[in-house]
């Protein structure tokens, strides 16, 4: 891993966007194959968990979380 800054952004009504040099592990410590930027499911309905597949748009998932709310 490099010293590149990792950014995690909660998207309005959608996924969690992760960019940077990061490893994504399952509960047993196995590494998911991922790219330098990927999106994680937040709605719970993705067919490709833990990754987002866009299902949030089909089911009308809504959340616009903000810091301090």
Domain ranges within the chain, ordered by starting residue: 1-57
What's the pLDDT score for residue 37? 96
What's the pLDDT score for residue 1? 55
Using the structure block, give the residue that is written with the tokens 């996924």. Answer: 15
4 pLDDT tier (thresholds 50, 70, 90):
confident
**What does pLDDT average to over the chain?**
95
Contact present, 14 and 58 (Cβ < 8 Å): no
pTM for the model stands at 0.89
Residue 56 to residue 23: CA distance in whole angstroms: 24
Percent of the chain with pLDDT over 70: 97
The tens digit of pLDDT for each residue in 20-40 reads 999 999 999 999 999 999 999
């Amino acid at each position: 891993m490099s010293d590149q800054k990792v950014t995690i952004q909660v998207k309005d009504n959608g996924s969690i966007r992760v960019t940077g040099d990061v490893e994504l592990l399952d509960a047993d410590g196995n590494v998911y194959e991922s790219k330098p930027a990927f999106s994680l499911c937040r709605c719970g309905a993705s067919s490709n968990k833990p990754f987002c597949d866009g299902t949030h748009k089909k089911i009308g998932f809504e959340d616009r979380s903000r810091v301090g709310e």
